[in-house]
Structure 1
Amino acid sequence: MTLTELRYIVTLAQEQHFGRAASKCFVSQPTLSVGVKKLEDELGVALFERTRNAVRITPMGELIIRQGQKVLEEAAAIKQLAKTGQDQLSTPLRIGAIYTIGPYLFPHLIPELSKVAPKMPLYIEENFTAVLRRKLRLGELDAIIIALPFNEPDVVTQSLYDEPFCVLLPGGHPWEKKAQINPADLAKEELLLLGEGHCFRDQILEACPVLARKKDAGDGSGIEATSLETIRHMVASGMGISVLPQSAVVDHHYAPNILSTRPFRSPSPGRTVALAWRASFPRPKAIDALSDALRQCSVN
């Protein structure tokens, strides 16, 4: 049994397709197939059920692949230890953030982090929570910035700061006369939301049960967007209203009076932003520096 063979079966389990798995492992499909079969023969059990059109994991395969993933994580940790040596702040740190946090946090985080770790550049990725979760587990990312709740075995989660939501309005909207907005009133308006897969969308629906019931009944708006910036442009054009996290409110693209914001009535809906990393990650000083910089961003 080799680490290469374990990487083959873990990747095949993820892709459920020999061709894609081989491509991701940078080998030919026959090479991957032979490696998987060799490991199955050595273990004496079938890890995958193969048909002409599909690859399925067997019950025993799920157990073995889960353990194999842990072995790969530990092997990656050993390599990381050897690479970093004594200075944990001298090599790149791979950070992921959800789409509704990254664009608004990183411009503040990078200069703040460079003050305490100038030799530690950042590899940055923005993605959905589910994708960031998987990449963190596989060791493809060192730490991720997400919104709570977030639960994952063998992963440490540290709350950073609480962030309220606010309502984004086009200029001249009647709600500009209001000092605060009742979350239940969102259901009365044309509300622009992010598409499925964005946790921020789910948080808005959770904050407004009436709106969630309306959408479940098929009576909600069909207007969805791929990013908060796209939503901002549509609101500016008069397509409807939306909800933004406080960090995304500042805008330098539009002249005054094109857009406006209003806070929610107390208790205001919001989210808790958190940092998550593997408990086995071998660079605790890098995590400490990142955490301190993130907290400083929230203060500023």
Structure 2
Amino acid sequence: MTITQLEYIIALDTYRHFSTAAQRCFVTQPTLSMQIQKLEEELGTKLFDRSKQPVIPTETGEEVIQQARVIVHKVKMMHQLIKDKQGVLQGELRIGIIPTLAPYLLPMFLQPFLAKYPDIKIWVKEMTTDILVEKLKAGKIDAGLLVTPLQENAIKEYPLFYEELVAYVSKSNAAFKKTYVLADDIDLKELWLLEEGHCFRSQIINLCELKKQSKDHSRFEYEAGSVETLRKMVEKNNGITILPEMATLDFTSKQLNMVRHFKAPVPVREVSLVTHRDYVKKKLVDVLKAEIIASIPAKIMLNKNKNLVKT
């Protein structure tokens, strides 16, 4: 039994396809298949049911793969420990980021980080909070950028900054005439929301206490897939929505005229870097955290968590 063989069965379990698993392991499909077969022969049991598509682990295979993940994780920890002691900053960081952060936060820190640390490769994928947490627990990503608190015992949270939530109001909406708005000023009939699955949707619902209101009087319901869609719906179709502060940083003067801040204490969301509690790449994550904080506008870094909106 070798560490390489254990990595192969983990890859096949992850991707459930021999060709994809081989590509991810940078070997040919026959090589991966042969090594997994050798491991099965050594253990005296089948680890995968090859008659199913996609390939799935057998009952025994699931238990073996679970142990393989623990073993490979420990081996990686040893290698990373040596690199950390030697001051080596190289390797790969797999990062998940929620869609309401990605378009605004990534452009701020990504290029400066890659230029400063040329030996670190970053893999980034957008995903909802639930999927991100699931992948962190499974060891499929190294870190996540999302809104906290999560209240997950297996996840460590490192708050980065607090982002103000603002109202984005069309001229036809009653709130447009106000200098500052209250949650009570938001009319449910004219509010644009993100679709289910986004934590930002939950925050808006909690902020506006929408659960206490009825949707029966709404003639049209539309749930957007992105913050940018919400913005455009207000601009083209009137109404009101809630935006994260960073979405407004490149607004034109006309767009800024449609922004209304909430009356103090202003609602904010906590943006954090999260990892699994047993994560390996501590040095790489530390420099990532520092680079992100250095890239955030000073005004946002001054925000306090006095009125944190629950997810």
Using the size of structure 1 for normalisation, the TM-score is 0.74
Shift of 1:236: 1.6
**Pairs within 5 Å for 1:172-211:** 172-178=172-178, 179-182=180-183, 185-193=186-194, 195-210=195-210
Task: Measure the CA separation in 2 of the matches of 1:214 and 1:242.
Answer: 18
Shift of 1:32: 3.6
State the secondary structure of the residue aligned to 2:62: helix
Contact 1:88 1:283 in 2 (8 A): no
Task: Measure the CA separation in 2 of the matches of 1:94 and 1:210.
Answer: 36
Q: CA 1:15–1:184 in structure 2 vs 1: closer, same or farther (change >3 Å)?
A: farther
Structure 2's unaligned 5+ residue stretches are 303-311
Q: CA 1:209–1:299 in structure 2 vs 1: closer, same or farther (change >3 Å)?
A: closer
State the secondary structure of the residue aligned to 2:10: helix
Contact 2:92 2:123 in 1 (8 A): no
1:261 maps to which residue?
259
Shift of 1:59: 3.9
Contact 1:170 1:258 in 2 (8 A): no
> What letter is aligned with 1:182?
A
Task: Measure the CA separation in 1 of the matches of 2:143 and 2:228.
Answer: 25
Contact 2:193 2:201 in 1 (8 A): no
1:148 maps to which residue?
148
2:223 maps to which residue?
224
2:305 maps to which residue?
none
Task: Measure the CA separation in 1 of the matches of 2:84 and 2:9.
Answer: 28
Task: Measure the CA separation in 1 of the matches of 2:78 and 2:185.
Answer: 52
Contact 1:168 1:259 in 2 (8 A): no
Task: Measure the CA separation in 1 of the matches of 2:267 and 2:109.
Answer: 25
Shift of 1:274: 1.3
Contact 1:99 1:227 in 2 (8 A): yes
Task: Measure the CA separation in 2 of the matches of 1:196 and 1:67.
Answer: 35
Contact 1:154 1:279 in 2 (8 A): yes
**Pairs within 5 Å for 1:1-300:** 1-81=1-81, 86-89=86-89, 95-109=95-109, 118-119=116-117, 123=122, 125-128=124-127, 129-130=129-130, 132-133=132-133, 136=136, 141-150=141-150, 155-178=155-178, 179-182=180-183, 185-193=186-194, 195-210=195-210, 222-238=221-237, 240-252=239-251, 254-256=252-254, 260-264=258-262, 269-279=267-277, 281=279, 284-295=282-293, 297=296, 298-299=300-301
Task: Measure the CA separation in 2 of the matches of 1:207 and 1:180.
Answer: 12
Structure 1's unaligned 5+ residue stretches are none
Contact 1:95 1:123 in 2 (8 A): yes
Contact 1:148 1:274 in 2 (8 A): yes
Task: Measure the CA separation in 2 of the matches of 1:51 and 1:92.
Answer: 34
State the secondary structure of the residue aligned to 1:256: helix
How many residues are aligned here?
295
Shift of 1:127: 1.0
Q: CA 1:201–1:220 in structure 2 vs 1: closer, same or farther (change >3 Å)?
A: farther
Task: Measure the CA separation in 2 of the matches of 1:212 and 1:57.
Answer: 46
**More deviation, 24-33/169-178:** 24-33
**More deviation, 277-286/164-173:** 277-286
Shift of 1:176: 0.8
Identity of aligned residues (%): 34
Q: CA 1:165–1:155 in structure 2 vs 1: closer, same or farther (change >3 Å)?
A: same
Contact 1:180 1:262 in 2 (8 A): yes
Moved over 6 A (4+): 111-114
Structure 1 residues 231-286: Cα deviation after superposition (integer angstroms, max 9, x where no partner): 3223221254322122223333x452686122346776542211123455565455
Q: CA 1:214–1:56 in structure 2 vs 1: closer, same or farther (change >3 Å)?
A: farther
Using the size of structure 2 for normalisation, the TM-score is 0.72
